[in-house]
Amino acid sequence: MSDASRSQESPTDRVASDRHRVAGHRLVPHTADCIIEAWGSDRSSCVTEALYALVDEFAEVPDAATSRVLPLATESRGAEDALVSLLEDVIYALDVFSVVPIRFHLAETESGGIAGDMEVVSIDQAELVGPVPKAVSYHGLSMVSHDGGWRCRVLVDV
Amino acid sequence: MASGAARPEPASVALRAVPGTVDRWRIEPIGAMRVPGVVFASELLLPQVIEDEALRQVMNVASLPGVVEASYAMPDVHWGYGFPIGGVAATDVERGGVVSPGGVGFDISCGVRLLASPLSVEELAPRIEDVMDALDVGIPRGLGAGGVWHLDDDRHLESVLHDGARAALAAGIGTERDLARCEDGGRLSGSDPSQVSERARRRGFGQMGSLGSGNHFLEVQAVDQIYDAHTAEVFGLSPEQVCFMIHCGSRGLGHQICSDHVRIMLGAMSRYGITVPDPQLACAPVGSTEGKAYLGAMAAAVNYGRANRHALSAAVRRVFAGVTGTGDLPLVYDVSHNLAKLEYHQVAGELRLLCVHRKGATLALPPGHLDLPEDLRSVGQPVLVPGSMGTSSYVLAGVDPGGAFSSTCHGAGRTMSRHAAARLVHGDELRRQLESAGVAVRARSIRGLSEEAPAAYKDVDEVVATCEHAGLARRVARLRPLGVVKG
């Protein structure tokens, strides 16, 4: 899932160097579920990292997997609402279309939303490496502009 | 932003032993708390209880409008979101009491069902691998859509949302006797499918009759020890008998309903002058438009969850019949552990209508309760407590007077994050350990297996012993695992 412009850290890594990275994400342990932390230079790149983290939490997909494209958009202007909405859209696609996203292409819209698409593969091509995400919690939810970029933290029910 | 700490600092909470009781601790009301917190924990469990955010969440729940008596924590309590997992709280419906979707949790009607077979461990032994292989093929689980009961159309789903396991029976699945051994007869009244979003319906449509992933499982078990021979006999259990335990819930449909209604209540709370310390505690008065809407949708999800376990039972019976020639697997009981119900209880000497939230806690009706079927009424309600993978599970019974609005624990309770558990032992090694201990394993995900390692949980023996000592329930039988089927 990773490419050169993004970073992934293990949960035990420290984030002292985060501000020097363009974008990244990590999974933070929670007793029963999973906490995602992500960061990016703008709102859409931060959300994009959170979406990659959501997928990394439960699936691995081989590079050669065949993909198709599904639209992905939110009109929510609030940063936290937009984050929750797009994470929920990915969970919905898992449940209803039986697909796993492998790449996201998102940008801010003129109306203040976030829109784009996601390349997805059939779940048959994915290896299950963790419990499947099922919902997004508001407990401890945050998405804030920080040090010239954006950071978010969200707890996902698995 | 957090700087890398995996857990928040443990809550600084003063716990005091309640005089004249066993394993019962009290948190005095402070700040916005309207009632005390009461924690059921042995000395052995206490350090694990205070280690994470659970006690802070017990205190937050104690601030909900209309809450009565106490905000309770069962011995298996652990860090959740909004409510702790293992939390029980009741609000007075006629005195401004609220209902909170977070007090039920995302997996509405997550629960446990136990089927008893006519075979002993010795009789099944030559064929157990065949049973496990057939279950491996026949029980949908893991990622995506697909279940053993293919609903025909939206009207079919509607009937499930209305009638729960009764809809399954109407479709030729299971028996009338099964319904008698389900909480609420397999159908929770008050369902209002018009409050179930299209998105929730679509998520649920293709998942009827599936386990899911995470800590959900199907286990083949043996009755390992009987603590009360008479009650065990009434429940239909005997020594060395083979049983099947199913642990799952309302799948994507229930999760979506919780998400939808938390959002609705977040937008509505200011109209009722309600503020909460955690947005996942979003709530509305039980009698409000939003409260009624949630309870109607929640009941629909409860019915879906019960039909889901009912459909999986039928699949287990087919598998068992295919291998052994008998599909005779009577239902011992089916009970939810994520639910809010309107119940009458005595509060300060007065009978009050309460909205009792049980999030990771199980109803435990005492002997004589009129909601119990006649054949169970003399002994109390069966309570099904799954242990962690590879460890014992328990069948308990409700007691009189009980406690925490007739509630008890729901499982072992996690102490360790999934990531930490996965680092502790590799899935392949864990599988070897389980199989060398005589537990056959069929798992979709090796990583998922390691995340459910027994070391990630509290000691279920200690949890149920604490429930007994604290007067919440009593032990009837212990079950040991023979085989586990996981997502």
B chain contacts of residue A132, beta-carbon cutoff 8 Å: 142-143, 212-214, 487
Residue of chain B nearest A85, judged by CA positions:
B259
Residue of chain A nearest B53, judged by CA positions:
A31
pLDDT at A8: 56
Residue ranges for chain A with pLDDT beneath 70: 1-21
Average confidence (pLDDT) over B4-23: 72
In this predicted structure, the answer to whether residue B9 has a pLDDT above a threshold of 90 is no
Query: CA B393, B398, B399, B405 torsion: positive or negative?
Result: positive
Question: What are chain A's domains?
Answer: 6-157 (3.55.10.10)
Contact B225, B477 (CB under 8 A): yes
User: CA of B81, closest CA in chain A: separation in Å?
Assistant: 5
Q: Which DSSP string corresponds to A66-131?
A: --EEEEEEE---SHHHHHHHHHHHHHHHHHHH-EEEEEEEEEE-TTS-EEEEEEEEEGGGSEE-SP
User: CA of A123, closest CA in chain B: separation in Å?
Assistant: 7
Contact B192, B248 (CB under 8 A): no
Tell me which residues of chain A, numbers 46 to 85, contact chain B at a CB-CB cutoff of 8 Å. Answer: 58-59
Q: Could you give the percent of chain B with pLDDT greater than 70?
A: 97
pTM over 0.90: yes
Tokens of A52: 């990659």
Query: CA B339, B342, B345, B347 torsion: positive or negative?
Result: positive
- Which residues on neighbouring strands pair with residue B487, listed in sequence order? none
B199 reaches A (C-beta below 8 A) = yes
In this predicted structure, the answer to whether residue B449 has a pLDDT above a threshold of 50 is yes
B207 reaches A (C-beta below 8 A) = yes
- Which residues on neighbouring strands pair with residue B67, listed in sequence order? B91
Question: Is residue B349 exposed (0-12), middle (13-18) or buried (19+ Cβ within 10 Å)?
Answer: exposed
Q: What does the alpha-carbon distance between residue B380 and residue B400 come to, in Å, rounded to a whole number?
A: 9
pLDDT at B252: 96
Q: Which among A126, A131, A144 has the least Cβ separation from residue B451? A: A131
Strands B67-81 and B37-40: parallel
Q: What does the alpha-carbon distance between residue B331 and residue B113 come to, in Å, rounded to a whole number?
A: 8
pLDDT band (50, 70, 90) for residue B11: low
Contact B67, B91 (CB under 8 A): yes
Question: How many residues are given for chain B?
Answer: 487
Place of tokens 């708390």: B33
In this predicted structure, the answer to whether residue B124 has a pLDDT above a threshold of 50 is yes
Q: Which among B202, B259, B280 has the least Cβ separation from residue A139? A: B280
Tokens of B479: 């079950």
Q: Which among A15, A37, A135 has the least Cβ separation from residue B259? A: A135
pLDDT at A19: 44
Superfamily (CATH H level) for B16-415+457-486: tRNA-splicing ligase RtcB (3.90.1860.10)
ipTM: 0.90
- B156 as an active site residue: the answer is no
A chain contacts of residue B280, beta-carbon cutoff 8 Å: 137-139
pLDDT band (50, 70, 90) for residue B68: very high
User: CA of B385, closest CA in chain A: separation in Å?
Assistant: 17
Residue of chain B nearest A84, judged by CA positions:
B259
Q: What does the alpha-carbon distance between residue B379 and residue B377 come to, in Å, rounded to a whole number?
A: 6
pLDDT digits (tens, 9 = 90+) for A39-53: 999 999 999 999 999
Average confidence (pLDDT) over B398-426: 89
Instruction: Please indicate whether, in this complex, the C-beta atoms of A58 and B143 are within 8 angstroms of each other.
Output: yes
pLDDT at B359: 98
B4 reaches A (C-beta below 8 A) = yes
Average confidence (pLDDT) over B25-42: 97
Instruction: Please indicate whether, in this complex, the C-beta atoms of A59 and B282 are within 8 angstroms of each other.
Output: no
Contact A31, A106 (CB under 8 A): no
Instruction: Please indicate whether, in this complex, the C-beta atoms of B142 and A128 are within 8 angstroms of each other.
Output: yes
Instruction: Please indicate whether, in this complex, the C-beta atoms of A31 and B82 are within 8 angstroms of each other.
Output: no
Contact B99, B258 (CB under 8 A): no
Query: Residue B277: is the preceding peptide bond cis (ω within 30°)?
Result: no
Q: Please tell me whether residue B222 adopts helix, strand or coil conformation.
A: strand
- What is the separation of C-alpha A139 from the centre of its chain, rounded to a whole number of angstroms? 17
Q: What does the alpha-carbon distance between residue B323 and residue B334 come to, in Å, rounded to a whole number?
A: 25
A139 reaches B (C-beta below 8 A) = yes
A chain contacts of residue B444, beta-carbon cutoff 8 Å: 128
In one letter, which amino acid is B304? Y
Work out the number of other CB atoms within 10 angstroms of the CB of residue B436. 8
In this predicted structure, the answer to whether residue B136 has a pLDDT above a threshold of 60 is yes
pLDDT at B420: 81
Residue of chain A nearest B3, judged by CA positions:
A15
Residue B260: enclosing H or E segment and its boundaries? helix B251-268
The mean-pLDDT minimum among A148-157, B63-72, B384-393, B410-419 falls in B410-419
Query: What is the rounded average pLDDT for all residues in chain B?
Result: 94
A chain contacts of residue B457, beta-carbon cutoff 8 Å: none
A chain contacts of residue B142, beta-carbon cutoff 8 Å: 128, 132
User: CA of B449, closest CA in chain A: separation in Å?
Assistant: 9
pLDDT digits (tens, 9 = 90+) for B429-439: 889 999 999 99
User: CA of B135, closest CA in chain A: separation in Å?
Assistant: 19
Instruction: Please indicate whether, in this complex, the C-beta atoms of B81 and A139 are within 8 angstroms of each other.
Output: yes
In this predicted structure, the answer to whether residue B441 has a pLDDT above a threshold of 90 is yes
CA distances to A64, B163, B186, B208 from B307, rounded to whole Å, are 39, 8, 8, 8
pLDDT at B8: 45
Catalytic residue among B230, B410, B426, B469: B410
B451 reaches A (C-beta below 8 A) = yes
Instruction: Please indicate whether, in this complex, the C-beta atoms of B145 and A98 are within 8 angstroms of each other.
Output: yes
Q: Could you give the percent of chain B with pLDDT greater than 90?
A: 84
Instruction: Please indicate whether, in this complex, the C-beta atoms of A37 and B1 are within 8 angstroms of each other.
Output: yes
How many beta-carbon pairs under 8 angstroms link A with B?
Answer: 148
pLDDT at A71: 97
Q: Which among A27, A28, A128 has the least Cβ separation from residue B143? A: A128
In this predicted structure, the answer to whether residue B6 has a pLDDT above a threshold of 80 is no
Q: Which among B2, B4, B417 has the least Cβ separation from residue A31? A: B417
